[in-house]
C-alpha cells in the first residue's frame, strides 16, 4: 500500500490507524464483556491452555488452544489476499478481507440478538460461548494481518505490546538521532501514541455500548469496518 515510510506516517493517514486501533479496542472489549476473555492477542491463551492442562481440564485446554489457531487462520487468509498479492505485484484484495471482517461481526450481532449465542456476559462454558470467542479471534487475526501487511509490519491495531515498545524506542530516538532523521521519527512516535489512546478510547466507548445494549454494540465495529474499507481503497490509490 505504501511506497515508503514517509507515506506510511503521513499525518493525513493517521486517522485510519487511529480508527482501526479504536476498532481493536472495541473487539477486545466485546470478547471480555461477552465471555470474559481477551481476543485481540494470543499470549494469554497459551497460558490458559497450560493451566487447564495442569488441572487436567482437557476440554478447556483444547478450547484455549483453538483460539490462537483461529487467530492464525485469520492472519493466513489476510496474508494470502494482501501480502501474497503485494509480493506478486498484483492488487491487494483489501476489500475482500474487510468483507470477511464485516460478515463476521454482522453474524455475531445477529446471532446474539436472536439469542443463539446465549446470555451476554455469561461464563465461558458452552459451545455457543466458544463460537463467539473463535469468530472474534479470527476477525482480529484478519484485521491485524491486513494492516501489518499494508504497513510493512510497522503498524499494529489489535494489541498494544509492540506499539508500546516501539513508542518507548521512538522517544529515545527522538532525543538522540540526527536532525534530518528526527522529523520522521517524530511523526512515527506520535502515531504510536495515538494508536495507544485510540485503543483505550475504543475500549471505553464500546464498553458503554456493550454494557447497555449487549449484542447491539457490535453495530459500532460494523460501521467502522465499512468506513475503513472504503478509506483504505482511497489510500491505496493515492500511494500507487
Query: What would the pLDDT profile of 64-79 be if each residue is shown by its tens digit?
Result: 999 999 999 999 999 9
Residue keyed to cell 514517509: 6
Give the position of cell 491487494.
Answer: 92
4 belongs to a structural domain: no
**pLDDT computed for residue 215 by the predictor:** 97
Q: Is 11 helix (H, G, I), strand (E, B) or coil?
A: helix
Residue 59 belongs to a domain with what CATH number?
1.20.1250
Q: What residues make up the domain containing 146?
A: 9-238
Which residues of the chain register pLDDT less than 50? none
pLDDT, residue 17, reads 85
CA distance 50 to 109: 31
- Residue 170 included in any domain: yes
- Grid cell locating 138: 479470527
In a domain, 1, yes or no: no
| Amino acid 86: pLDDT | 80
Give the chain's end-to-end CA distance (angstroms, integer): 7
Give the chain's domain count: 1
Q: Is residue 2 part of a domain?
A: no
Amino acid at each position: 500500500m505504501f511506497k515508503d515510510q514517509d507515506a506510511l506516517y503521513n499525518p493525513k493517514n493517521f486517522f485510519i490507524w487511529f480508527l482501526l486501533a479504536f476498532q481493536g479496542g472495541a473487539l477486545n472489549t466485546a470478547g471480555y464483556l461477552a465471555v470474559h476473555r481477551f481476543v485481540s492477542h494470543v499470549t494469554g491463551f497459551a497460558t490458559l491452555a497450560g493451566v487447564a492442562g495442569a488441572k487436567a481440564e482437557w476440554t478447556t485446554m483444547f478450547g484455549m488452544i483453538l483460539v490462537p489457531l483461529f487467530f492464525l487462520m485469520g492472519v493466513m487468509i489476510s496474508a494470502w489476499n494482501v501480502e501474497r498479492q503485494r509480493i506478486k505485484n498484483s492488487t491487494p484484495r483489501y476489500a475482500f478481507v474487510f468483507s470477511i471482517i464485516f460478515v463476521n461481526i454482522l453474524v455475531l450481532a445477529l446471532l446474539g440478538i436472536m439469542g443463539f449465542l446465549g446470555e451476554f456476559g455469561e461464563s465461558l462454558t458452552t459451545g455457543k460461548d466458544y463460537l463467539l470467542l473463535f469468530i472474534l479471534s479470527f476477525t482480529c487475526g484478519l484485521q491485524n494481518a491486513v494492516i501489518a501487511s499494508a504497513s510493512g509490519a510497522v503498524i499494529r491495531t489489535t494489541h498494544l505490546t509492540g506499539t508500546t515498545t516501539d513508542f518507548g524506542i521512538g522517544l529515545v530516538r527522538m532525543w538522540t538521532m540526527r536532525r534530518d532523521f528526527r522529523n520522521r521519527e517524530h511523526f512515527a512516535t506520535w502515531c504510536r501514541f495515538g494508536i495507544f489512546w485510540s485503543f483505550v478510547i475504543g475500549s471505553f466507548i464500546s464498553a458503554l455500548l456493550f454494557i447497555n445494549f449487549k449484542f447491539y454494540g457490535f453495530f459500532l465495529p460494523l460501521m467502522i469496518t465499512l468506513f475503513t474499507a472504503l478509506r483504505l481503497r482511497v489510500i491505496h490509490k493515492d500511494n500507487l
